[in-house]
Amino acid sequence: MFLNLKLSTKRILKYAVILLLTFLPSYLTASGKPSTNVIVPGKIEVKGIRYWSTSDYTRVVIDLSGTVEFSKNRISNPDRLYFDLMDTTIAREIKTSLPVGDGILKTVRAGQFKHDIVRVVLDLEEIADFNAFVLDDPARFVIDVYGKEKIKKPDTVIAKRKIVIDAGHGGHDPGAVGLRGLYEKDVVLDIALKLKKILLADKLNEVFLTRETDVFLPLEERTAIANKKGADLFVSIHANASPGRQARGIETYLLNWTDNEEAIRVAARENHISLKKMKAMHRQMDVMDIIKSDLIRQNKRDESIKLAHYIQKSMVSTMNSSHENILDLGVKQALFYVLFGARMPSVLVEVSFISNPEEERLLSSDSYRMQIAEAIAGGLNKYITSIPTVQKVAGVRGHNSH
C-alpha cells in the first residue's frame, strides 16, 4: 500500500509539471508582453525583424522560414497593435526588441506568446492607418504603418520633383536570361543609370536609384526606399520573358487585381513565385483589402494610370521611329510586390522581351538602351507637365512632406 501511494504521488507530480509547462507561457504573456520560449521543431521560424521609417510612414518586415496565417488587433492603455503569427516559433539568436522612435512607432517587439504562436507587438505613438500582408519566396510578414498627414503651406519657390527609379533584380538574382546569356539585371541597371542622367538635366528633378551597382535588394525594400525618400513618382524597370521565344513587345503595368492570365504570369515571374502561388494570392481577401485601401489613398490609382499611359505611349512611339515591329502590348495591371505600399504614382515597365532572340540583340545594344531611357524620360516629362501648375508648385508632394 505504501508503495502504491508513493507511485501515485510521483504520477501527480509528473502531471502537475506537465500542466505547469503547458499553461505558464500563456499566464506570463497575459499582459500582452511576449516572452521567449524554446524552439518547437516543425514550426515556421521567425528569423528576423527589419524596418524603414520616415516621419509619416514606417514599414516593418518580419522574415520567416515559411508563409503564415495571422490575426491582428489594436488595444489601448498603452496604444499598440499586435499580430499573432500562427504555427510559429521564434529563433533564439534574433533581436526581439527594436527601438524605432520615429513619431509613429515607439518600438517593435516579438516573442513566443504561446507554444505555437509568435506575437509581434508595435508600440504606437500616433498613427492614421496600417496594412499587413504576407509575401512569399522568401516568406516575410510586412506591416505598413501610416502617420497622420502633415499639412504644409505652399512653398514660395517651385518644389523639386523627387523621382525614384528601380532597376529590377541584381546580385545573386539575374532576372530573366536571354538565349545568348544576356542578364536582365545588367540591362535594366544600365537603362536606369542612363535615365537618371537624362532626368538630372532638368534642375527641378531630384533622382534616386534603388540600386546603382550589381547588388540584390528585396522587393519590399525597394518600395520602402521610394517612400522614405518622399518620392513623387516611382518607376520600376524590367525586361520581359516568355517560354515562347516569339513573344515580343513593350508593356507598362500598375498595381491592381487582374484575371488576365498573361499579366498574372508576368507578375509571378517578377515576384519570384510560381504561377500556382500567384493565382492563390488572388484568392486572399486580405491582399484585396490591402490593394483597395492602397489605391484609394491620394487618388493613386488614377495618377498611376495616367503615368503608365504617358510612359507606354512615349516608349512605343520612340522605339517605332527607329526600329521595325516594336509591338505595343499596352497598359495592364497586376499584383507586383515591388508596387505594394508605394505612396506615390507608381508603375512597372517591361521594356522588351529578353527571351526573344531579336529583342535580346536589341537590348544588348547601348544605343537601344539609351533610346529606352530617353523614351521613359519623355513619358515622365509629359506626365509632369500635365499636372496643374498649383499642384506642381506646392501640392504634388504634400502627403510626403516632413
Reported as a pLDDT band with limits 50, 70 and 90, residue 245 is very high
pLDDT given for residue 239 in this prediction: 98
Q: Of 154-158, 266-270, 315-319, 325-329, where does mean pLDDT reach its minimum? A: 154-158
pLDDT given for residue 361 in this prediction: 97
pLDDT given for residue 345 in this prediction: 94
For the ranges 134-138, 211-215, 321-325, the one whose mean pLDDT is highest: 211-215
Under the phi-then-psi rule, with left for phi > 0, alpha for psi from -120 to 50, and beta for the rest, what region is 101?
Answer: left
Amino acid at 10: K
Tell me the pLDDT tens digit for each residue of 175-234: 999 999 999 999 999 999 999 999 999 999 999 999 999 999 999 999 999 999 999 999
181 burial level (CB within 10 Å; 0-12, 13-18, 19+): exposed
Question: Cis bond leading into 138, ω under 30°?
Answer: yes
Q: Are strands 97-99 and 105-114 parallel, antiparallel or unpaired?
A: antiparallel
161-400 maps to CATH 3.40.630.40: yes
Using a cut of 0.85, tell me whether the model's pTM lies above it. Answer: no
- Counting residues of the chain whose pLDDT is more than 70, the rounded percentage is 79
Q: Are strands 233-240 and 161-167 parallel, antiparallel or unpaired?
A: parallel
Tell me the pLDDT tens digit for each residue of 260-313: 888 888 988 898 888 888 877 666 656 666 666 665 555 678 899 999 999 999
44-146 maps to CATH 2.60.40.3500: yes
Q: What is the mean pLDDT of residues 312-340?
A: 93
Over the chain, what HEC string results?
Answer: CHHHHHHHHHHHHHHHHHHHHHHHHHHHCCCCCCECCCCCCCCEEEEEEEEEECCCEEEEEEEECCCCCEEEEEECCCCEEEEEEECEEECCCCCCEEECCCCCEEEEEEEEEECCEEEEEEEECCCCEEEEEEECCCCEEEEEEECCCCCCCCCCCCCCEEEEEEECCECCECCCECCCCCEHHHHHHHHHHHHHHHHCCCCCEEEEECCCCCCCCCHHHHHHHHHHCCCCEEEEEEEECCCCCCCCCEEEEEECCCCCHHHHHHHHHHCCCCHHHHHHHHCCHHHHHHHHHHHHHHHHHHHHHHHHHHHHHHHHHHHHCCCCCCCEEEEEEECCHHHCCCCCCEEEEEEEECCCHHHHHHHCCHHHHHHHHHHHHHHHHHHHHHCCHHHHHHHCCHHHCC
Kindly list the domain boundaries of the chain, sorted by start residue. 44-146, 161-400
